[in-house]
Structure 1
Amino acid sequence: MEYVDETLFERRYGRIAQIMKLHVQAAAIKALLNFWDPNYRCFTFGNIDITPTLEEYERILDFPNVSCRIYRRRKFEDTASEVVSLLGLGKISQCRVAEGGFKWKVIEARMKKNAEEGKLGDKRYKLVAFAIFGLVLFPSETGVISLEAASVFVEYEHDKINPSSAILGETMLSLNHCRTHGKGAMRCCVPMLYLWIISHIEAPRDIFNNFWWFDLRPLKITIDEIWKNWDEKAWRDKYAALPSSNFKWKAPWMNNVICTMSCGSKIWVPLIGVTGYISYAPALVTR
């Protein structure tokens, strides 16, 4: 990234900067939607059921020094003023749209100005992180960073919450919406979903078949890998061939990780997203 030192940025915000560099094959996601079961919140490939887990998302994103505190939706009344204060944006009215979100052009202009003036301070890193939270991790309409995404960013800065559960929750909410209605845009962190599925169906590849993959800058080596540029039909055929093709239910780099399989006596694990609530049942697909 041209605006910050990547190593220092990763120490503060984990691997979110690498997420936005991942080239997503849109055809892979479109084809994947056909295999989502909105009732059981899992992908079904023949006799194989699989679902992304909270622990997988946490390990890939690798947010540093965060506690086990998860995101809980908060009131938005003070979010805008807190963001302006954290980022040093000036007047609220100049950086917000009528619906309440923040204008990406204003954020981008501020980042460019800081770079031109050689400002390497704390706010410069926060500006970049805020942009990634709003445009990649919790996307909304084009050119706008929603108040919901801003709220997660504020809680991360103030309380060091782990936003992984909210990212996964939004993914499942979006999958359910698109599958149930047969249309709609995937308003979630699509690069994370793409990385998750290819890490399972391409598990024999050297880059994934390694217990230490998560410690070896996984997104970078995945970005550098050469992938076949298939159309939607080719991806559907690949998914339909599971599990006879290169499939692994549990990624090698998750071998020693304990996953949350229930919430008390209930098998459904709740996930709080920024736009709603959903639950999933990883115990139903365990092998």
Structure 2
Amino acid sequence: MENGFFDKVEDNAAVQIWAETTQQEKGDSLTDGCFTFEKVDLVPTIEEYTALIRCPKIQVDRIYSKAANGPAFSERLMNITGMSKQWVTARIKQKGGCRCIPWRNLRDFILAHPDIKKKVDVFALSIYGLVIFPKALGHIDEAVSDLFDRRSKWTIPVHAILAETFRSLNACRRAGEGRFIRCAQLLLSWFHSHFWKVEKVSYRVFSENYSPLKELVATPRRDDITEENWMTILQNLQEENIEWRAPWMV
């Protein structure tokens, strides 16, 4: 999602060939052993994230990638909010190395604006910025507005979400510490799906009405397990503790 990351859009077939070759030669992880258990790669997959957020079947010509030349941040905010350029530019801030708009400004907009559709659009933009792609605490950054502004074209955000998950986890791994700053809800649901035997979670077969995220929200939090206990559990995982295929996958 950073500037320049998707500045060049290449042919999908060429990218797929490159990805498959790289995976065969080097594996998925950027760091050796980053997301592996024994010799099995546990990186979340595109298919899993697609099922988790219930996206339609992926169309290769609708995958989101950042356009080399697109509308300015202020123009996108004007399109989404319907507010004037003066209103928008007065609220844009520099935060965490990128241009952002504070959540409190969008919250005030949601509470006061008479147009229901605009309220919903701005609330959805806030979810993208605060939950799915959090970067600067309490702010919605410029890159998120680009992704959100193109949702009407039915672009598929799964690849961008997976890439940001991968990058954030690798950054924590390289530093040996740190906080995961991408969509923690998706990662937590993925985690529970593969390590369900650890918590004795019931095996849930996929159905049209079943949503792993809804089940996660409805599941009481285990506040009685300390961080140290979780570390002990994970460090002592055995092969039989892991479900290699998410039980809700088709």
TM-score, with normalisation over the residues of structure 2? 0.75
1:248 aligns with 2:240: no
- Structure 1 residue 87: Cα displacement: 1.8
Q: Is the 8 A contact 1:130 1:153 kept in 2?
A: yes
1:15-34 equivalent positions in 2, closer than 5 A: none
- Distance in 1 between residues matched to 2:134 and 2:37, nearest whole Å: 28
- Distance in 1 between residues matched to 2:33 and 2:157, nearest whole Å: 20
The one of 42, 51, 60 aligned to 1:50:
42
Q: Is the 8 A contact 1:100 1:147 kept in 2?
A: yes
Name the residue aligned to 2:109: 110
Contiguous gaps of at least 5 residues in structure 2: 1-27
Q: Secondary structure at the match of 2:64?
A: coil
Name the residue aligned to 1:39: 31
1:71-220 equivalent positions in 2, closer than 5 A: 71-74=64-67, 75=69, 77-90=71-84, 91-98=87-94, 99-114=98-113, 117=114, 119-120=115-116, 122-157=117-152, 159-202=153-196, 205-206=201-202, 208-212=203-207, 215-220=209-214
Q: Secondary structure at the match of 1:145?
A: strand
Q: Is the 8 A contact 2:204 2:248 kept in 1?
A: yes
Identity %: 27
- Distance in 1 between residues matched to 2:58 and 2:104, nearest whole Å: 30
- Structure 1 residue 41: Cα displacement: 7.3
Q: How many residues align?
A: 213
Worse-matched range after superposition: 195-204 or 71-80: 71-80
Q: Secondary structure at the match of 2:232?
A: helix
- Structure 1 residue 82: Cα displacement: 2.0
Q: Secondary structure at the match of 2:36?
A: strand
Q: Secondary structure at the match of 1:252?
A: coil
Name the residue aligned to 1:276: none
Q: CA RMSD in A?
A: 2.6
Aligned AA for 2:65?
A: R
- Structure 1 residue 59: Cα displacement: 0.8
Which fold has the larger relative contact order, with Cα–Cα distance below 8 Å and residues 6 or more apart in sequence? 1
Deviation string 1:225-267 (CA, Å, 9 cap, x unpaired) is: 234332222112222232355420001221x3xxxxxxxxxxx
- Distance in 2 between residues matched to 1:156 and 1:40, nearest whole Å: 35
- Distance in 1 between residues matched to 2:241 and 2:188, nearest whole Å: 16
TM-score, with normalisation over the residues of structure 1? 0.66
Change (3 A) 1:86 1:221: same
- Structure 1 residue 100: Cα displacement: 2.1
Q: Secondary structure at the match of 1:100?
A: strand
